[in-house]
Structure 1
Amino acid sequence: MTTNTTYDVTIIGGGPAGLFAAFYSGLRGLKTKIIEFQPYLGGKVHVYPEKMVWDVGGVPPLSGAKLIDQMVEQGLTFDPTIVLNTKVTSVTQDEQKIFHLHTNEGAIHATKTVIIAIGGGILQPQRLELEHITHFEQTNLHYLMKPLAYFKNKDILISGGGHSAMDWAAELEPIVNKIYLTYRGDTFKGHETVIKHLLSSKKVTSFFETNITKFIPSDSGDTIEQVELTELHTNKKHQLALDDVIVHHGYIRDTSLLQYSPLPITLHDDYFIAGSPSSESSVEGIYAAGDILHHEGKLHLIAGAYQDAANAVNMAKKYIDPEASRQAMVSSHNDELKQRNKAIIKEMMGRGV
């Protein structure tokens, strides 16, 4: 089923690059849609909601969660159409040069231009391979971090020994009652000072060369009450009573979109879009922004994603309307924002600011 409306710009991905592209596309008067695989906007920043982000230009340090809120608010300024829980599986183009974005639901989204802003690809947490545990994901089994306050004074288990698992443990150590760390390897990976602190903390008990082999549920069966760990070499078992389990075994990257699209999109290292500093791909009308874009001098920061997004929108505008300016538009030149500015100034004067 093809959607009835053909959009000027459709953005695949609702992270930092996609959200700023949506804002800037609206700024330039383009009819815009975002299609996002996850049930929420914000992208990979959801992996570290409690961490402080310092390197967004002109913005004082703020938590990842707050940054998400502000990015979403800005991205929705011009009311783009938002499609969540939807995976774009391939991109085709018809004889009229209209692109068709095919999705896992069978819907086809028509658009004049495409901005691909999928970061490192759709990231799915590596889940535990134990039977009959998915219902615990609704209660006390976590693959993404919840707000720190949720874990206050709790006994928790963290499975994983990489940088992210260690960072989570370090963030939680001051506020929880107890942390158990379980890892298949014989040493943790991460920053030396973080690991040294965790290994010396009286709140932390570490189990190396162990696996989670069983969850023992509560009487209701809804939550995990105990976890069984098994030593890899001796088969010795440990049973731990706890409140919550956090699993960080890395992510599975889904790279099917670019692999299965028949259009000749040139890739770098078999994954990244080989583009230009102006965010162009090898296919006219398709652009890239954020970590998915590769070119010499590419800046892998959120600030770099914003520049990519603005470049991509400016190129899309020029592609749709060859008479349009390729140069960036500043917000003070947008008629709709001028009206909003008047309302904001009026409100501030009324409050005596």
Structure 2
Amino acid sequence: MTTGLELYDVTIIGGGPAGLYAAFYSGMRDMKTKLIEAKEELGGRLLIYPEKMIWDVGGLKPTRCEQLIAQLIEQAQTFDPTIVLGQQITGLKRLEDGTMIVTSDTGEQHHTRTLILALGYGVAKVAKLELEGANRFEVTNLHYTVTDLQSFQGKRVLLSGGGDTAVDWAMELEAIAASVTVVHRRERLGGHEKNARYVEESSIHVFKPFAIAQLHGNGDAIEAVTIARTDADCELTADTQRLDVDAVIVNHGQLSDFGPIVDWGLDMGQWSIAVDEKMGTNLPGIFAAGDTASFPNKLYLIAGAFNDAAIAVNGAKLYLEPKAPSMAYVSSHNAKFNERNKALLNKERD
């Protein structure tokens, strides 16, 4: 069927770790690949915390997120996939020959034989502090992410939140800020047990169960915060304290939205799409990887996203060519890298 559109073997929707690794691995499978990202830059959820250190990627020394993103992008471009930025996919149409056309919010259409959904938890929006007038401090010292740790040098920093990201930021700021205070509405900090225990036992001040009740400003900057103890339903009580601060960082998680994809007929819950052992969804030719994919014993790590991506690509390849090898040859024995390896060796000798 002629559509006038260039046909791709696989189109990957989402430019986070799973999508980027899928773009690389699909090149190893000789698949004509397109990657579409809703934002104007690649990196997915890693873009939220560029200064954070990543420790749990196998064989990789502790690496800042921004560096890991750059390395993932470079790797994804190894086999020259087509990369499209600034387009959120909304529509899906299956043609008589089994191929699909997906349409973006810009109206542009993309023709593909298979799809890999690497959407994370959808289009993420920061959960903001729900206090009247809080938005006026966003231009000064109310933050929803940390892009430069050194900007908090010598400051009294209050962190609102108790999940992985808030705990990690508190740990990293401890040696930089004059003081770090964590306010969490529940009795226990979330995140990895070891890190939560460190925060509890360190010089970091922890108030729990407490939540921010009021911001006190001097012009457009916050100079103090009133915190209130919370009850069993996380509602504020009359037990309050006032704390002087120089900066407030709010980490209350993300509000995510899959958009019109929820109407495609996929077997999905609020946060993910159910997949089989090949990362296949209930719709033929459509696969999922990373945080988007849901299956038993799911590993919610970047390393797990890489594994999901490779399995999804292999699933897409076998969907197109049932007699193809079940996986790509490993890179150490793959002829695709012969010339590249020679170039790297020559560069090292020089």
Q: TM (normalized to structure 2)?
A: 0.80
Distance 2:10 2:307 in 1: 17
Q: For each residue in 1:190-237, what CA deviation from the matched residue of structure 2 results, as whole angstroms up to 9, or x when unmatched?
A: 445234235xx3x7485864435446365xx5xx35355364444978
Residue 104 of structure 2 corresponds to residue 107 of structure 1: no
Q: Cα RMSD over matched residues?
A: 3.3
How many angstroms does 1:5 deviate by?
A: 2.8
Is residue 2:257 matched to residue 1:245? no
Deviation for aligned residue 1:21: 0.3
Cα distance change of structure 1 residues 207 and 293 upon mapping to structure 2, 3 Å threshold: closer
Q: How far apart are the structure 2 equivalents of 1:84 and 1:138?
A: 27
Contact 2:52–2:169 under 8 Å retained in 1: no
Aligned position for 1:260 = 263
- How far residue 32 of structure 1 moved from its aligned partner, in angstroms, is 1.7
Contact 1:162–1:188 under 8 Å retained in 2: no
**Could you list the runs of 5+ residues in structure 2 that have no partner in the other structure?**
229-235
Q: Deviations over 1:235-280 (max 9, x none)?
A: 97847451x321111221324454221xx4333x565332222222
Asked whether the 8 Å contact 2:54–2:64 carries over to 1, the reply is yes
The CA distance in 2 between the partners of 1:205 and 1:282, in whole Å, is 46
Secondary structure, aligned partner of 2:111: strand
CA distance in 2, matches of 1:265, 1:236: 47
What secondary structure is seen at the aligned counterpart in 2 of 1:38?
coil
What is aligned with 1:67?
Answer: 68
Please show how residues 178-257 of structure 1 align to structure 2 within 5 Å. Answer: 178-183=179-184, 185=185, 187=187, 189-190=189-190, 191=193, 193-198=197-202, 201=203, 204=205, 206=207, 209-214=210-215, 216=217, 218=219, 224-229=221-226, 231=228, 232-234=236-238, 238=242, 240-242=244-246, 244-257=247-260
SS at match of 1:306: helix
Give the match for residue 22 of structure 2. 21
- Could you tell me how far apart the structure 2 residues matched to 1:16 and 1:3 are? 31
CA distance in 2 between counterparts of 1:213 and 1:33 reads: 48
Deviation per CA, 1:95-136, whole angstroms, max 9, x where unpaired? 232222233333332222100112333332201235666575
> How far 1:153 sits from its partner (Å)?
1.8
Indicate the residue corresponding to 2:97 in structure 1: 96
Equivalent pairs, count: 337
**Residues 241 and 81 (structure 1), Cα distance of their counterparts in 2 relative to 1, 3 Å cut:** same
CA distance in structure 2 between the aligned counterparts of 1:43 and 1:135, rounded to whole angstroms: 27
**Residue matched to 1:167:** 168
- State which drifts further: 112-121 or 296-305: 296-305
Within 2, Cα distance between the matches of 1:286 and 1:34? 14
**Which AA in structure 1 matches 2:226?**
L
Return 5+ residue gaps in structure 1 as ranges: none
Tell me the TM-score normalised to structure 1 length: 0.80
The answer as to 2:290 corresponding to 1:290 is yes
Tell me the residue number matched to 1:145: 146
Conservation of the 8 A alpha-carbon contact between 1:24 and 1:310:
yes
Q: Report the AA paired with residue 303 of structure 1.
A: A
- The aligned counterpart of 1:280 is 280
Q: Structure 2 CA distance, aligned partners of 1:42 and 1:325?
A: 30
Q: Which residue of 2 aligns with 1:45?
A: 46
Alignment partners' CA distance in 2, 1:283 and 1:197:
50
